[in-house]
């Protein structure tokens, strides 16, 4: 066997992520891609994207686009791939069939692989019998000794067949960078299927060829692939290929330590994006799904992750997925955004909720403009959708600014701030009641608020001035909540909101007094 990749210098590291385009990009594949990317960057190496699209029946036409778009959104950029090419392409397996056929023919010619004509029914019956007597469900080898003449005769007759690899009865050992020495008894595996025919290779064969042809130095993947590793090593040996260095990442588990699922909050990366998670938060979150820097530090940018990352600090045990942790990180990164940038990020959610509408210049339409352009120089004017009242970008920034500390996800902005964009609020009068206040006390508080606020000049309508005037009045009462709570409820129609003085300043004098009067009308 050719010498393994044991002494790889910085710059010679080549890793890959090889998703099958059968579904949307999920957290597990994205985490694996991130770890490969960090390892490549840390070692001045190359990160390759390879699309494993030979399973025609399961391919989802949307999947490849989704995978590529969302990896880029996360900031995980590849050095070589199907969209940008590279020295070792093509990077889609469906475009590499001639390469696989060449190696299949080589194994067949050297009698290291053979055609198997057993039917699916025969194989299933054999499997069930072996399991019933407590033996591993390996193939019996029925077709392993067919003569070349018999094989050619059956092929000429068009008998259905597959191609099996002759698995030698030997111990297979390899050193895993995360798990240490791992050993398998290949005699328990049986001869494995490596292709349906010369034009249809299967996973364990195609991945070996691709990794060799693309000069992959390290294979970093999930631990669910550990059982595939001895099969791939044996194929490498049969073809005289060097053995890449392996590192198997821990599985991602839910908080209850069961297999990660939607009920734990695990969804496609595109759905996280839609719900208003930031790429920085997801990257920071995913990095800690199995890796730990060994310090108390928890916040890491992509640049700092590249600097600190090492496979030596990847844990062996399952990585626990905690959606609350992701929410915390997302809230942190939201708070780091400038108000200008955060407003731009929130605008699509306000538009989607029907709260505001962009006022476009000339004949532009919403569908013609990428989400990223909302809030930029292309669209500077907006209307409140309900009233068509024109509002400024500065008005929207004021609203976003008072909720920046409360946001965990960008998508929450619509529900938190919808009252700013409504002409009339709809809520139960009980919302106005602070503790044990009577209806008469609520009426009195609202009357007082209207009287005091009516005397304030429009030019003095600021948060600071409103607070300076109303707080002393609230302190005179038995409980200051008796004045401030009805004010907050009347202005927002919500149980929780930003402070009433900030809200009143943004609403303006006219709307604030109008809403107090409407609240007064609820108390008969």
Query: pLDDT digit string (tens) for 206-232?
Result: 999 999 999 999 999 999 999 999 999
**Alpha carbon distance 233, 64 (integer Å):** 28
439: nearest Cα among 517, 514, 524: 524
Query: pLDDT digit string (tens) for 69-123?
Result: 999 999 999 999 999 999 999 999 999 999 999 999 999 999 999 999 999 999 9
**Alpha carbon distance 81, 90 (integer Å):** 8
Return the pLDDT at 82: 97
Return the pLDDT at 359: 81
Return the pLDDT at 217: 97
Return the pLDDT at 6: 55
Burial class (CB in 10 A: 0-12, 13-18, 19+), 364: middle
Return the pLDDT at 491: 98
String of DSSP letters for 322-385? -HHHHHHHHHHHHHHS-HHHHHHHHHHHHHHTTSEEEE-STT--GGGS-GGGBTSTTB-EEEET
Return the pLDDT at 260: 86
**Alpha carbon distance 122, 125 (integer Å):** 5
Return the pLDDT at 7: 61
Over its length of 524 residues, how does the chain's per-residue pLDDT go in tens digits?
A: 334 555 677 679 999 999 999 999 999 999 999 999 999 999 999 999 999 998 888 999 899 999 999 999 999 999 999 999 999 999 999 999 999 999 999 999 999 999 999 999 999 998 898 888 888 888 999 999 999 999 999 999 999 999 999 999 999 999 999 999 999 999 999 999 999 999 999 999 999 999 999 999 999 999 999 999 999 999 999 999 999 999 999 999 999 888 888 788 889 999 999 999 999 999 999 999 999 999 999 999 999 999 999 999 999 999 999 999 999 999 999 999 999 999 999 999 999 999 999 886 554 454 444 444 444 444 568 999 999 999 999 999 999 999 999 999 999 999 999 999 999 999 999 999 999 999 999 999 999 999 999 999 999 999 999 999 999 999 999 899 999 999 999 999 999 999 999 999 999 999 999 999 999 999 98
Return the pLDDT at 375: 44
Query: pLDDT digit string (tens) for 124-175?
Result: 998 898 888 888 888 999 999 999 999 999 999 999 999 999 999 999 999 9
Cβ(73)–Cβ(281) under 8 Å?
no
485: nearest Cα among 425, 421, 435: 435
By annotation, the residues acting in catalysis are: 262
Cβ(509)–Cβ(461) under 8 Å?
yes
Return the pLDDT at 377: 47
Return the pLDDT at 379: 57
Domains of the chain: 262-335 (1.10.1160.10), 337-421 (no CATH), 429-522 (1.10.10.350)
């Amino acid at each position: 066997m050719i010498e393994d990749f044991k002494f790889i210098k910085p710059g010679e590291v080549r890793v890959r992520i090889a998703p099958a385009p059968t579904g949307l990009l999920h957290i597990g594949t994205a985490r694996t891609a991130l770890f490969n990317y960090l390892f490549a960057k840390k070692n001045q190496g190359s990160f390759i994207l390879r699309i494993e699209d030979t399973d025609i029946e399961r391919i989802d036409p949307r999947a490849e686009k989704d995978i590529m778009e969302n990896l880029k959104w996360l900031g995980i950029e590849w050095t070589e791939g199907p969209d940008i090419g590279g020295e070792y392409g093509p990077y889609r397996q469906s475009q590499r069939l001639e390469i696989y056929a060449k190696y299949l023919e080589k194994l067949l010619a050297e009698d290291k692989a053979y055609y198997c004509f057993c039917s699916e029914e025969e194989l299933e019956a054999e499997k069930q019998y072996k399991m019933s007597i407590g033996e591993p469900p390996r193939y019996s080898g029925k077709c392993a000794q067919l003569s070349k003449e018999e094989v050619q005769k059956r092929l000429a007759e068009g008998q259905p067949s597959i191609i099996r690899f002759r698995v030698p009865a030997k111990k297979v050992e390899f050193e895993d960078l995360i798990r240490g020495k791992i050993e398998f008894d290949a005699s328990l595996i049986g001869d494995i299927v490596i292709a349906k025919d010369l034009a249809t290779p299967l996973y364990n064969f195609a991945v070996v060829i691709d990794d060799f042809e693309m000069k992959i130095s390290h294979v970093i993947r999930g631990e669910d692939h550990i059982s595939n590793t001895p099969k791939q090593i044996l194929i490498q040996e049969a073809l005289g290929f060097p053995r890449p260095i392996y590192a198997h990442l821990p599985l991602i588990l839910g908080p209850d330590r069961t297999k990660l699922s939607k009920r734990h909050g695990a969804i496609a990366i595109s759905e996280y994006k839609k719900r208003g998670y930031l790429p920085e938060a997801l990257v920071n979150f995913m990095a800690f799904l199995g890796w730990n820097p060994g310090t108390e530090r928890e916040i890491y940018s992509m640049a700092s992750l590249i600097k600190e990352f090492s496979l030596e600090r990847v844990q062996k045990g399952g990585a626990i997925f905690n959606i609350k942790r992701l929410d915390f990180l997302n809230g942190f990164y939201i708070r780091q955004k400038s108000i200008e940038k955060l407003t731009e990020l929130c605008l699509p959610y306000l538009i989607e909720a029907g709260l505001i509408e962009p006022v476009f210049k000339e004949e532009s339409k919403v569908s013609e403009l990428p989400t990223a352009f909302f809030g930029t120089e292309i669209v500077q004017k907006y209307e409140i959708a309900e009233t068509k009242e024109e509002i400024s970008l500065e008005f929207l920034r004021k609203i976003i600014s008072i909720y920046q500390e409360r946001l965990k996800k960008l998508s929450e902005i619509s529900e938190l701030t919808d009252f700013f964009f409504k002409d009339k609020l709809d809520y139960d009068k009980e919302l106005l009641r602070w503790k044990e206040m009577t209806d008469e006390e609520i009426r009195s508080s609202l009357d007082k608020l209207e009287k005091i606020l009516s005397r304030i000049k429009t030019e003095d309508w600021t948060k600071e001035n409103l607070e300076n005037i109303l707080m002393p009045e609230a302190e005179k009462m038995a409980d200051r909540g008796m004045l401030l709570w009805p004010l907050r409820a009347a202005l927002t129609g919500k149980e929780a909101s930003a402070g009433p003085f900030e809200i009143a300043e943004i609403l303006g004098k006219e709307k604030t007094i109008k809403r107090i009067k409407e609240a007064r009308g609820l108390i008969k």
